[in-house]
Amino acid sequence: MDHLSIGIVGSSFWAEFAYLQRLTDHPRAKFVALCARDQQRAQSIAGKYGISRIEADWRRLLDKHDLDALIVVAPDDLHKEIVLSACERKLAVLCEKPLANSATDAWTMQRAAAQAGITNMVMFTWRWQPHFVFLNDLLKRGELGRPLRAQLGFLAGYLRTPEYSWRMDPRRSNGNFADLGSHMIDLARFFFGDPSSVTAQLGTAIDRSRVSGLEGVPVNDNARALLGYEDGPQVFIETSCVTPMGDRFMTQIFRLETTTTSLALDYHFAGNEQGLHLRIADGDAPWRTLEVPRGYYGRSDAHDFMDIYGNESVGARHFVDCALEGRLASPDFGDAARVQEVVDAALRSSVEQVTVDLI
């Protein structure tokens, strides 16, 4: 096909920032329909990006016959029904993470996509970051030694106040570990493969029991999980959306110990220390800065963490390119279902205070 006609469900900041903005300059991608509850914002976005059709109900969006693909940027509990309906219509589908609120539902969605023969992808945003791609290449080539221990962290403070958010609604979400933790699980799989066990403690630091709509069993707003690997490293994951971040907004952390090397990565998303801080120590040698080769950034600005998503075939642009060319995208629904298995295991581990085997 000459171009991909895309519908998008969702009008959040992230829908605009990660999808609409990043695909604006793609020569063969065209947004033709938008579904949003907030019709005033929908009108504003539609005018900004030249979208001709606006719907308040995603079902009406799908009932029209002008779409080749659908991007789903809706709350987690809506993913399954929307994605299955798109699969029935044989639309290529890009869905936000986590794919579903249970592994059972995620695998149902994966099977539907496979049966429909459609391009399918889940937006695990950070696996395309040049620093992570570079480190994964070093690991795969054996240049960092054999991994022994690793730590992956994603810390933020955007839910420190006790107000309603669907991300904290137990009817709609599995909380912070599903939201930020799914990214870190994806990175653990990216670096080390599938874990064999999970031991987790999921916590709730902010009392939301008096917030309308959040009554009942609270979901986690901070989490710690240990992923076990047979004949592999121990991988510790820590996430939070209630950490005082100062001027950093969010921080991602990667620590790695191998038989020969120690590595420390911090990425601060704002503030005086904004950007990548990557250091390495070989054996007993002094710590030194490790530079990511310029080629990993392609045409993008190395100082703007989102620039690569608007210039290279990664993220939403990777999905569009794969859909146009009829090839598999990665990470796909199968990858997302395996991530969800880890989330499910962590939820069970925390409640029952046991280690949950995955294999």
Computed over every residue of the chain, the mean pLDDT equals 97
**80 and 169 in one domain?**
no
CA–CA gap between residue 43 and residue 146 (Å, rounded): 53
For 286, the domain range is 126-309+340-352
CA–CA distances in Å: residue 14 to residues 10, 11, 37, 102? 9, 8, 15, 23
According to the model, what pLDDT value does residue 64 have? 86
The verdict on residue 334 lying in a domain is no
**138 and 87 in one domain?**
no
Enter the tokens of residue 253: 């952390």
**221 and 140 in one domain?**
yes
**202 and 114 in one domain?**
no
- Beta-ladder partners of 202: 223
**171 and 67 in one domain?**
no
pLDDT in tens, 146-177: 999 999 999 999 999 999 999 999 999 999 99
What's the pLDDT band for 216 if we cut at 50, 70, 90?
confident
According to the model, what pLDDT value does residue 225 have? 98
Range list of H helices, the chain:
13-14, 21-23, 39-49, 58-63, 79-88, 103-116, 130-140, 176-179, 181-192, 315-325, 333-352
Enter the tokens of residue 294: 């310029």
**163 and 107 in one domain?**
no
DSSP string, 284-352: TSPPEE-PPPGGGGTTS-TT-TTGGGGTSS-HHHHHHHHHHHT---SS-HHHHHHHHHHHHHHHHHHHH
Q: Averaged over 93-105, what is the pLDDT?
A: 98
According to the model, what pLDDT value does residue 347 have? 98
Percentages helix, strand, coil for the chain (3-state, rounded to 5) are: 35, 25, 40
Q: What is the count of structural domains for the chain?
A: 2
According to the model, what pLDDT value does residue 215 have? 84
Domain with residue 76: its CATH number is 3.40.50.720
SS3 call for 9: strand
What's the pLDDT band for 239 if we cut at 50, 70, 90?
very high
The verdict on residue 146 lying in a domain is yes
Q: Averaged over 100-119, what is the pLDDT?
A: 98
According to the model, what pLDDT value does residue 338 have? 98
According to the model, what pLDDT value does residue 244 have? 98
CA–CA gap between residue 55 and residue 58 (Å, rounded): 7
Strand order in the sheet with 275-282: 288-289, 275-282, 261-268, 250-258, 147-156, 234-240, 222-228, 197-203, 356-357
CA–CA gap between residue 173 and residue 291 (Å, rounded): 38
Select from 124, 156, 190 the last residue of a domain. 124
Residue 219 DSSP label: P
CA–CA gap between residue 124 and residue 48 (Å, rounded): 26
For the cut 80, the answer to whether the pLDDT of residue 1 exceeds it is: no
CA–CA gap between residue 103 and residue 195 (Å, rounded): 15
Percent above pLDDT 90 for the chain: 96
**116 and 95 in one domain?**
yes
Phi-psi map region of 280: left, alpha, beta (phi>0 left; psi -120 to 50 alpha): beta
Is 105 in contact with 132 (CB distance < 8 Å)? no
Enter the tokens of residue 335: 């990858």
Long-range contacts, stretch 257-264, CB < 8 angstroms, 24+ apart: 257/147, 257/148, 257/149, 257/150, 258/144, 258/145, 258/146, 258/147, 258/148, 259/145, 259/146, 259/148, 260/144, 260/145, 261/144, 261/145, 263/135, 263/144, 263/290
According to the model, what pLDDT value does residue 263 have? 98
**231 and 251 in one domain?**
yes
Give the other-Cβ count within 10 Å of 75's Cβ.
Answer: 17
What's the pLDDT band for 92 if we cut at 50, 70, 90?
very high
CA–CA gap between residue 65 and residue 76 (Å, rounded): 26
Burial letters for 295-326: b for 16+ Cβ neighbours within 10 Å, e otherwise? ebbeebebeebebbbbbbebbbbbbbbbbbee
pTM, whole model, 2 decimals? 0.97
Select from 95, 124, 153 the last residue of a domain. 124
Q: Averaged over 53-62, what is the pLDDT?
A: 96
**119 and 134 in one domain?**
no
Q: Averaged over 298-304, what is the pLDDT?
A: 96
pLDDT in tens, 247-257: 999 999 999 99
According to the model, what pLDDT value does residue 297 have? 98
According to the model, what pLDDT value does residue 359 have? 79
pLDDT in tens, 259-274: 999 999 999 999 999 9
Sign of the four-CA dihedral 23, 66, 121, 80: positive
